[in-house]
């Protein structure tokens, strides 16, 4: 029988991908879990394995085509028809009717099977869940399921009932950006059009949502990194002997992690649906990385538990993968705070946009020598401009300023990171 391999839902709001390359051709034999196609999502290039064994019967797309989640990637001729006939001939064993609680538990534990997905417009739920919806006067067709394949569970119904009972606050209508539809750009001279897709499209969507949802406030400061640069220069040879490139960014990430432990509100998120502030007990820092296709933010996990050399090594590896488009999707997920560093490029100041749904993002700009006053004397020091944008819904300027004060103290006294930072 013919089986259709469709683009799976890989999460993180990814709705479509672009075909990069088919690794098989019509007539090829494939095995289950064999990599058959490379696709580019708005985050990375990934290889997808076939869920079936058999012969490639049809390849409906070609490199460069865009495919949405649920649309066909391959058609594979399998040998499962004979097995299905044999199973149909076996007498069916009568089973005792399951209790409602057992049905619900079974629904929660059921594995993902594409063939079980509900047809469009049909609600996937157990009879017990439907009964509960009627009792709580919940329109089950409006409930989004959290179970496998979108199956609606009892908990989904209860949450919908609680939400309906909660008083609604008036929500201001979003302000639409002015449209360029009908604007004749070519009227004034020659133009060139390039599709907005992949990483660039994702960046546009994320930045628009963040800027329009989160009330941004940016706090500026600067740190005297003269001593820090001396430490980096002195320890660079040790790092290079281990194949590691030691940079100021590694120290910045460590100092940020220590400051987040002191001021955990900056490591939180606002759950807009429940109206709760979510404090994260982990510190996973995303490092904004410039690539040819757009901005990517690989995540270094548990930064507070790692040494500066470990951070530098991970940072180096993730940055290389991001630029080569070989990074795993998991390496781009789960960040609780972000750092963007434009020091290698230049500039003096900037206002970074928060990675929704995080609470803050830290920006570092190129350090420069400048005259400053120390002990009533004008001296030349190397100063690094810093800026932190934060979500003013859940924290105020005073807390952001305290965070920055702590961060600056650590950067100006790098040895403290070795003796006073867990």
Q: H helices of 69-149, where?
A: 80-89, 100-109, 127-135
Strand, coil or helix: 254: helix
- The answer to whether the CB of 47 falls within 8 A of the CB of 37 is yes
- Are the beta carbons of 378 and 371 closer than 8 angstroms? yes
**b/e map 259-294, b = 16+ CB within 10 Å:** bbeebebbbbbbeeeeeeeeebeebbbbbbbeeebe
User: Cβ distance 20 to 36 under 8 Å?
Assistant: no
Contact 250, 311 (CB under 8 A): yes
Token output for 204: 């546009």
> CB under 8 Å, gap of 24 or more: what pairs does 232-239 form?
239/309, 239/312
Catalytic residue among 128, 284, 392, 406: 392
- How many angstroms separate the Cα of 306 from the Cα of each of 45, 47, 213? 28, 31, 33
For residue 116, what are its two tokens?
């079980």
Rounded to whole angstroms, what are the CA distances from 83 to 77, 79, 86? 14, 8, 5
Count of Cβ atoms closer than 10 Å to residue 50 Cβ: 22
User: Residue 253 has which token pair?
Assistant: 């990430």
Q: What is the C-alpha to C-alpha distance for residues 23 and 28, in angstroms, rounded to an integer?
A: 10
Residue 392 annotated to the active site? yes
Phi-psi region of 373 (alpha: psi -120 to 50; beta: other; left: phi over 0): beta
Q: What residues does 46 pair with on adjacent strands?
A: 39
Q: How far is CA 229 from CA 241, 315, 356, 382, 414, in A?
A: 19, 18, 32, 9, 9
Give the residue from 399, 386, 397, 391 showing the smallest Cα distance to 255.
Answer: 386
Q: Where are the alpha helices (DSSP H) in 242-371?
A: 248-262, 308-324
For residue 280, which of 217, 335, 213 has the smallest C-alpha distance? 335
Question: Residues with catalytic annotation?
Answer: 392
């Amino acid at each position: 029988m013919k089986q259709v391999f469709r683009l799976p839902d890989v999460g993180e709001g990814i709705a479509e991908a672009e075909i990069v390359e088919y690794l098989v051709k019509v007539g090829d034999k494939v095995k289950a879990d064999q990599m058959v196609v490379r696709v580019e999502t708005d985050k990375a290039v990934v290889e997808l394995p076939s869920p079936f064994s058999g012969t490639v019967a049809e390849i409906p797309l070609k490199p460069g085509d865009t495919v949405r989640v649920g649309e066909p990637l391959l058609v594979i001729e399998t040998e499962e028809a004979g097995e299905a006939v044999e199973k149909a001939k076996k007498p069916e064993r009568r089973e005792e009717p399951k209790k409602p609680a057992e049905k619900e538990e079974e629904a929660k534990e059921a594995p993902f099977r594409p063939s079980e997905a509900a047809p469009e417009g049909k609600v996937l739920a157990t009879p017990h869940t439907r009964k509960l919806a009627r009792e709580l006067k919940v329109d089950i067709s409006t409930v989004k399921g959290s179970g496998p394949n979108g199956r609606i569970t009892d908990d989904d119904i209860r949450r919908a009932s609680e939400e309906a009972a909660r008083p609604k606050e008036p929500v201001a209508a979003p302000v639409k950006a002015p449209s360029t539809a009908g604007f004749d750009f070519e009227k004034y001279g020659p133009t060139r059009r390039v599709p907005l897709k992949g990483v660039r499209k994702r960046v546009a969507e994320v930045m628009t949502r963040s800027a329009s949802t989160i009330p941004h406030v940016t706090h500026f400061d600067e740190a005297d990194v003269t001593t820090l640069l001396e430490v980096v220069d002195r320890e660079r040879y040790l790092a290079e002997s281990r194949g590691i490139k030691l940079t100021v960014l590694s120290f910045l990430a460590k100092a940020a992690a220590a400051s987040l432990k002191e001021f955990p509100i900056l490591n939180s998120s606002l759950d807009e649906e429940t109206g709760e502030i979510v404090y994260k007990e982990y510190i996973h820092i995303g490092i904004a990385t410039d690539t040819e296709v757009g901005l990517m933010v690989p995540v270094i996990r548990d930064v507070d538990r790692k040494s500066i050399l470990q951070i530098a090594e991970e940072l180096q590896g993730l940055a290389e993968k991001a630029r080569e488009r070989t990074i795993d999707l998991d390496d781009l997920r789960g960040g609780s705070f972000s750092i963007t560093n434009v020091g290698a490029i230049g500039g003096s100041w900037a206002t970074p946009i928060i990675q929704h749904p995080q609470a803050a993002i830290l920006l570092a700009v190129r350090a420069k020598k400048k005259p400053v006053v120390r002990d009533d004397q004008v001296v030349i020091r190397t100063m690094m401009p810093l800026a932190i944008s934060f979500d003013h819904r859940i924290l105020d300027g005073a807390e952001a300023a305290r965070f920055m004060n702590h961060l600056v103290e650590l950067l100006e006294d790098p040895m403290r990171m070795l003796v006073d930072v867990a």
